[in-house]
Amino acid sequence: MKSKISKKNKNSKARIELDVMGWWILGVLVLVIVLAAIFILAKKGQGGLDFLKNIFRFGR
């Protein structure tokens, strides 16, 4: 019976580690996308704030 408990704890710990690793990968991916967008907007000579204003300008 003791071995079943230890196996269960090992699996749940591995599951938590995989879950945390998934969130880390997602966070790094979002950071890379944001940095790439800032770099592209800076190369175009258009500020990020002006770009966002133009995106959310509905029919004006």
30 alpha-carbon distance from chain centroid:
4
The predicted-structure confidence for 20-52, as pLDDT tens digits, reads as follows 899 999 999 999 998 888 787 777 766 667 777
Give the CA count within 13 Å in the CB-facing half-sphere of 24. Answer: 6
Residue 57's pLDDT band, with cuts at 50, 70 and 90, is: confident
Mean pLDDT of 2-20: 65
- Angle value at C-alpha 42, between 27 and 35, nearest 5 degrees: 10
Cα–Cα distance for residue pair 12/5, rounded to 1 Å: 11
Helices 48-55 and 2-44 meet at what angle, rounded to 10? 100
**Collapsing DSSP states into helix, strand and coil, what is residue 57?**
coil
